[in-house]
């Protein structure tokens, strides 16, 4: 990395890659780093990569390189870090190849297909001494940080229960079975694509700021509706204990058959409640309302910087870590990614959901 610049190579040129690049290249007066798009790669054609660059590059500085292979992006001397935005089933190999090339890695959620794959990727990164993080972008929103602070400060007293729900919002029936959202070989279904968000919220709400191996113990019960090898609807209940041994329950609901409601989350405490709301989907919350025991309500709306969708917060966090010589992030450490992958393995085991990669 040259000075305060972080040069990104993007593999995968779908919707989320485009949103990420739009965010990191959005004009702003100041920030902890200047983000540069150095290259984009696909496995289909140079033309596809060129179209992606045309759509998202702002024309600032040298034009990014377009490649018809991921390996060329990994091998580029003009790249500091790889952003992996490919289907879930490719994450493990993409990460390993980028790490082998000596590049830092930010990998989209879910980190991998299962915990075994995640452990392999983490071990490779640690052996190489490079930065690695799962891109759970919502954790880095100022809203998420403020929500966590208010809960830990006792804004609604002892938390008893949370209910977070998320839906696909598209025409599920119209998708071909080969879609990455439906195909079990690609990690299709609600759990990896959607339910990871309610699970992450439960950590913010009831985790007491403790991540990875330090996360409070919990009991997991779950149910799934599985059709053609993919889970269409999940209900996951995580039962925590408070430090004084009272019960806490986090209910995580995900479905590909319905949209998310605007008020997608409710957190109930001894002295009030918090309602999470969104205009853009639960992965991108836009505010929360706090109601105290007297029924008085205060609204906390949050807006991102103009021209951004929310990915810039995780990108800035990564830039600061790499500039400081850190190999993982304090807010999304590798141990937390491993914990969540193991939790999702447990949920699948309870319901008999098996991916080809498990065999």
333 is a domain residue = no
**Mean pLDDT of each 10-residue bin along the chain, 359 residues long:** 79 97 92 95 95 94 96 97 98 99 98 98 99 98 97 96 95 92 95 97 95 96 97 98 92 96 98 96 95 96 90 97 98 98 99 96
Predicted local confidence at residue 4, as pLDDT:
78
**Long-range pairs, 278-281, Cβ under 8 A, ≥24:** 280/309, 281/166, 281/169
Predicted local confidence at residue 306, as pLDDT:
82
Helix (H, G, I), strand (E, B) or coil at 159: strand
Q: In Å, how far from its chain's centre is CA 166?
A: 14
Helix (H, G, I), strand (E, B) or coil at 184: helix
Predicted local confidence at residue 326, as pLDDT:
98
The domain tally of the chain equals 2
18 is a domain residue = yes
**249, β-bridge pairs:** 161, 239
Domain extent, residue 234, equals: 142-301+340-358
Query: Are residues 322 and 348 located together in one domain of the fold?
Result: no
Query: Are residues 24 and 116 located together in one domain of the fold?
Result: yes
User: How far, in Å, CA of 12 to CA of 1, rounded?
Assistant: 22
Predicted local confidence at residue 296, as pLDDT:
96
CATH code of residue 173:
3.30.360.10
- CA 354-230-169 angle, 5° bins: 145
Q: Rounded to two decimals, what is the model's pTM?
A: 0.96
User: How far, in Å, CA of 4 to CA of 213, rounded?
Assistant: 33
User: How far, in Å, CA of 344 to CA of 49, rounded?
Assistant: 33
Predicted local confidence at residue 190, as pLDDT:
97
Query: Are residues 250 and 293 located together in one domain of the fold?
Result: yes
34-41, strands of its sheet edge to edge: 65-67, 34-41, 5-11, 81-84, 104-108, 132-135
Helix (H, G, I), strand (E, B) or coil at 182: coil
Predicted local confidence at residue 2, as pLDDT:
42
**6, β-bridge pairs:** 35
Predicted local confidence at residue 3, as pLDDT:
44
């Amino acid at each position: 990395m040259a000075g305060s610049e972080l040069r990104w190579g993007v593999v995968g040129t779908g919707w989320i890659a485009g949103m990420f690049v739009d965010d990191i290249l959005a004009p702003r007066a100041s920030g902890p780093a200047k983000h540069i798009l150095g290259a984009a790669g696909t496995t289909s054609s140079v033309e596809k990569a060129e179209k992606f660059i045309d759509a998202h590059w702002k024309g600032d500085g040298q034009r990014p390189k377009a490649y018809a292979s991921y390996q060329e992006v990994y091998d580029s001397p003009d790249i500091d870090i790889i952003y992996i935005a490919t289907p879930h089933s490719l994450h493990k190999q993409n990460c390993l190849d980028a790490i082998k090339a000596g590049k830092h890695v930010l990998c989209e959620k879910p980190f991998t297909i299962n915990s075994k794959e995640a452990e392999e990727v983490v071990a490779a990164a640690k052996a190489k001494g490079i930065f690695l993080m799962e891109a759970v972008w919502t954790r880095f929103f100022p809203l998420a940080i403020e929500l966590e602070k208010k809960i830990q400060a006792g804004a609604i007293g002892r938390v008893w229960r949370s209910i977070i729900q998320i839906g696909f919002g598209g025409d599920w029936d119209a998708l071909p079975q080969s879609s990455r959202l439906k195909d079990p070989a690609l990690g299709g279904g609600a759990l990896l694509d959607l339910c990871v968000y309610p699970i992450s919220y439960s950590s913010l709400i009831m985790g007491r700021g403790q991540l990875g191996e330090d996360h409070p113990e919990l009991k997991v019960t779950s149910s799934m509706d599985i059709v053609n090898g993919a889970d269409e609807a999940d209900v996951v209940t995580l039962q925590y204990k408070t430090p004084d041994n009272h019960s806490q329950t986090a209910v995580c609901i995900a479905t590909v058959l319905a949209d998310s409601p605007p008020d997608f989350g409710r957190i109930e405490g001894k002295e009030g409640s918090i309602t999470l709301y969104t205009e853009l989907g639960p992965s991108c919350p836009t505010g929360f309302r706090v109601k105290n025991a007297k029924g008085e309500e205060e609204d906390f709306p949050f807006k991102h910087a103009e021209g951004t969708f929310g990915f810039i917060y995780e990108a800035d966090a990564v830039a600061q870590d790499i500039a400081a010589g850190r190999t993982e992030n304090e807010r999304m450490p590798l141990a937390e990614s491993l914990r969540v992958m193991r939790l999702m393995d447990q949920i699948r085991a309870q319901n008999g959901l098996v991916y080809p990669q498990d065999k």
